[in-house]
Homo-oligomer: A and B are copies of this chain.
């Protein structure tokens, strides 16, 4: 609580129907070719999804209809790399809900550098219980995501 006051943008911001998270390129994200390693984009997108949920106020015990604890896992991901990023760059991860179904969500994630799309991803996440079984999304969660989808349609 006090941390979110001290560092107001640490979880990014809700914008329009989605979410944006700034990320800095550090040593750990680059490789010897001189540009960002392709695996770094996977980490950044996961951070974007986590902080999107965080700012939607969706807590773990609200994720499913029932009482069993559950978590989102990635079922499929597609990444298109269009231009490289480099050390010290500031990038933005833009996350939007593309569609929701009973037990899964498709997200569109775009990484931008100076307002240019350098990577576009689509990620399908599924809510599973600790035993690994897919779970229905709660109405509360679908509402939160659904507003995003509706908002997108109106643009």
Q: Give per-residue flags for A32-54: 1 if the beta carbon is below 8 A from chain B beta carbons, else 0.
A: 11110111001100110011001
In the complex, chain B residues whose CB is within 8 Å of the CB of A132 = 84
Which residues in window 49-84 of A have CB below 8 A to B? 50-51, 54, 71, 73-81, 84
Main SS class of interface, A = mixed
In the complex, chain B residues whose CB is within 8 Å of the CB of A35 = 32
- Copies of this chain, count: 4
Task: State whether B38 touches A39 (Cβ < 8 A).
Answer: no
How far apart are A14's CB and chain B's nearest CB, in angstroms? 15
Task: State whether B78 touches A74 (Cβ < 8 A).
Answer: no
Interface residues of A (CB under 8 A from B): 3-4, 6-11, 22, 24, 26-28, 30-35, 37-39, 42-43, 46-47, 50-51, 54, 71, 73-81, 84, 86-88, 90, 132
Identify 6 residue pairs between A and B in the complex whose beta-carbon atoms are under 8 Å apart, listed by A's number: A6-B22, A27-B33, A32-B34, A33-B71, A39-B39, A78-B78
